[in-house]
Amino acid sequence: MMIQHSATIVDRLGEAFRGMGAGWVMWLLLSLSVVSIAVMIERTIFFSRHSFGNIDGLMRALADGDLEGAVKMVGERRGLEAEVLRQAVRTAPRGADAVGEMVEATIGRERLHYERFLSYLGTLGNNAPFIGLFGTVLGIVEAFAALATDAKAGAVSQGAANIMSGVSEALVATAVGLLVALPAVAVYNIFGRWLRTIVARSECIGHALASHLKSVFPESGAARSSTGPV
């Protein structure tokens, strides 16, 4: 009784899978690929417009204590480095420790804008091969079902030819899945590296300003002058 019941479930699942086919998997992968290309283009434009580039001039200005000059270099430019500089200079009168805290807070807030949609690329890169493999399995199931039907009809040779053709078409789904996943993973890693570079430059700006403040207002000297000699 249990064996018959299990066989019925398998038959029903087999019919459902054969009815689904593998064609919709191909369309799904192509749709996901189009969305990933749109994300890549949008993120490339965003990163390009929100990246300061060379910060050597800013570092020299901050090291010399020319805060106004550093702010003028940034001007109206957008991006993490520019926003960190503005917030750090605004916080400078409160001391180096306050500048450090403000830099970390600004980085944490602004990096969310850079990470937007990147999770899509990472998820697609990890799962597109499995989607393609699922399409391949559906195609193979359909091909073997066709072989069984031909075998019952006595056309074994025709069924063998059909299954070879079906398996070949089914494997295309796996190839498409890999083709969609590889660019997504590569571009995801590129943007991740780009973001880490922007964050590193922003931290350098904060450290440069904090270093200047500590040299101008050394904490140890301030403490000695306020308490007097021991």
Percentage of the chain exceeding pLDDT 90: 39
d(CA 215, CA 193): 33
Please name which of 52, 112, 104, 56 lies closest in space to residue 82, comparing C-alpha atoms. Answer: 52
d(CA 142, CA 120): 31
Task: Report yes or no on whether pTM surpasses 0.95.
Answer: no
Confirm if 201 and 171 have CB atoms less than 8 A apart.
Answer: no
Q: Quote the pLDDT of residue 223.
A: 35
Residue 154 has pLDDT above 60, yes or no: no
